[in-house]
Amino acid sequence: MSVNLLSFDHVAFGYSQARPIFSDLNYQLRRGTLSVILGPNGIGKTTLLYMALGWLQPSAGQVLLENRPLQVYSRAELGRRVSLVPQTERQPYSYTVLEYVLFGRAPHLALFGAPGENDELAARQALARAGIPELAGAYVDQLSGGEGQLVLIARALAQEPRVLLLDEPSAHLDLGNKFRLMQTLSDLRRDGTTILMTTHDPEIALAVSDETVLVDGSGSVTVGTPTDLLTADKLSQLYHLPVGALEIRSSHPGVTLRRF
Amino acid sequence: MNEDASLLKARPDRARKKWVWAVLVAALVLLLALSVFLGRYPQVGFLRLSQLRENLLAQLLVVNVRLPRLLTALLLGMVLAASGTVFQMIFANPLVEPGFLGVSQGAAFGAALAIVFFSASAALVQGMAALFAFAGLGFSYLLARRIRVGSWLLRLVLAGIAVSALFSAGLGIVKYLADPLRQLPEITFWMLGGLASITWTKFLAILPACFLGLTVIFAFRWRLNLLALDETTAFSLGAAPRRERLVMMIAAVLATSAIISVAGMVGWIGLIIPHIARRLVGSDTRRNLPAAILLGGAFGVICDDLARMLMAGEIPLGILTSLLGAAIFILLMARGLGKEVRS
């Protein structure tokens, strides 16, 4: 079994030819790690995530999952291997949490299939892993922001993916929910789930990541351990901030960040 | 193992909801049985069993007139409710009905065109209505692919509005050119909708398209849930959202255009019935689609019963479905339409 679960191999991508986002992106996501893609807003973090999902296709180079290009997987095959926790999600109708998490079983079912008892068991296990087994009967449109985010994680876990992608999972969370989320993510990593997530929040990267991927607009990425990369110098360069301002912004009064 | 067993505990509401299905099916069967005997011959009200045994005309009436009409009313309600559910899911919008995207206006334009320019043979009116209903969807789809702003769904809605407006303008021109004494009333009457002219031949002609559409929608009913989600989310769940939405739209419009072609414009069923079904059994389309089909069938039959019973002359079906549909809609709004819909 290869160490690299997901590889970006000389990948180029841009929404327009005049403004390429990536020109020669090389990056390997190792099995069992929690990696955080860090960078300012609008720099291409979500683009990178969407390429890992297969939703966006590179204009050059390729994205490999377990050494095979993403395009060779069928939709269902890919759905069983890669799952996405979106930043926000439109929920037009009022489902119960269990019904919603059961959607994650779709790639395990036939086109005209519907989830059965085994799928329900998998969904309830996913809810337990996300730390919210008690919410199964609640309605998704009546949850708090933090609970809603955990439900989306549970749905992604119900897919039983090899790699879990999360897009800015902490964006709309208050401090308490942010900590709960980080706890859940580090528990998942300890269970052996490979996680790739985006954030614009260096605290998250420092607190949970094994590896940090800096997207700085140069057309590629810089990869390293959080302690190596998340220095005041590098961060102030990345966010175009004076070092002092950064230090003030990155600490909450009365809260000590710890590494999970 | 113990933990697994406790995880699998049946949800308490599951058993409670079983009676809903029993009641729905029983009510529909009873309604159908009663409707066969209901009419204005030999007397206003119910036909007696003795009359059915002895009166040859009554027998012929039931077999050749009431039965095909009743079955078409049933099919009409089922198809419009199922298609309405499909459209409300695909567009993640509870206020959408199967006629939008140029389908209804296309059908009306096609029927009017046949009435005015092609001698108005019944078969031709039906064929043209079905053809242009489908053309409405096709144009909307192709136009949406050309539009360069907004999300895919927004583009489809915009294209649907534009195509509907074009057909509506075309209909205006055809009406203006129509013979005001002969053709114009016919166009108007067609647009009000009705099942007075249904025969076994017409019923059997639309049955395959309706059956095919309903079967595809029914088989796909759980997966329909995924299509109401954001496109990237549906994609990440292993679906091919655009392709699957297109297949579902074609199935829904195939059945809808077949029904419109013989029944004319019958509104509101596709909008209101999916709401009631969601209220009754929840948002999961695995349950509310079959509920909508049963409820829609019952609503179609009730409206048609009223259409042929209330007055000596027929009341156009479309007027009744609008009247009842709008009344129910107002009632639902007053009692909190938003209950099953996220605000």
Subunit contact B233:A80, Cβ cutoff 8 A: no
Query: What CATH number does the domain containing B267 carry?
Result: 1.10.3470.10
What is the mean pLDDT of the segment spanning B34-45? 89
The 10s digit of each residue's pLDDT in B95-151 is 888 888 889 899 999 999 999 988 767 788 888 998 999 899 999 989 998 988 888
Considering the domain boundaries, does residue B167 fall inside one? yes
Considering the domain boundaries, does residue B36 fall inside one? no
The 10s digit of each residue's pLDDT in B58-87 is 999 999 999 999 999 999 999 999 999 999
The residue segments making up the domain with residue B289 are 45-336
Identify the CA nearest to B210 among candidates B274, B260, B271.
Answer: B260
The 10s digit of each residue's pLDDT in A46-63 is 999 999 999 999 999 999
- Tell me which chain A residues have a C-beta less than 8 angstroms from the C-beta of B237: 79, 83, 103-104, 106-107, 159
Considering the domain boundaries, does residue B35 fall inside one? no
| Closest Cβ opposite residue B238 in set A80, A115, A136 | A80
A4 bridge partner residues: A30
Mean of pLDDT over chain B: 89
Considering the domain boundaries, does residue B343 fall inside one? no
Considering the domain boundaries, does residue B14 fall inside one? no
A141 touches chain B (CB under 8 A): yes
> What integer pLDDT is reported at residue B2 of this predicted model?
42
> What integer pLDDT is reported at residue A254 of this predicted model?
42
The 10s digit of each residue's pLDDT in B153-173 is 889 889 999 999 999 999 999
pLDDT over threshold 80, residue A255: no
> What integer pLDDT is reported at residue B215 of this predicted model?
98
Subunit contact A103:B8, Cβ cutoff 8 A: no
What is the mean pLDDT of the segment spanning B178-205? 91
Considering the domain boundaries, does residue B16 fall inside one? no
pLDDT over threshold 60, residue A256: no
Q: Cα separation of A230 and A252, whole Å?
A: 17
Which tokens go with B111? 């029927």
Q: Is A27 helix (H, G, I), strand (E, B) or coil?
A: strand
pLDDT over threshold 70, residue B342: no
Number of domains in chain B: 1
Considering the domain boundaries, does residue B13 fall inside one? no
Q: Pick the residue from chain B with its C-alpha nearest to A80.
A: B238
Identify the CA nearest to B235 among candidates A79, A113, A148.
Answer: A79
| Closest Cβ opposite residue B233 in set A82, A89, A120 | A89
pLDDT over threshold 50, residue A120: yes
Phi, psi of A25 (to 5 degrees): -90, 120
**Minimal C-alpha gap between B92 and chain A (Å):** 6
Phi, psi of B267 (to 5 degrees): -95, 175
Give, in order, the Cα–Cα distances in Å from A82 to each of A49, A52, B225, B297.
11, 8, 20, 42
- Tell me which chain A residues have a C-beta less than 8 angstroms from the C-beta of B236: 53, 55, 79, 82-84, 86, 156, 165
Report ipTM (2 d.p.).
Answer: 0.91
Considering the domain boundaries, does residue B28 fall inside one? no
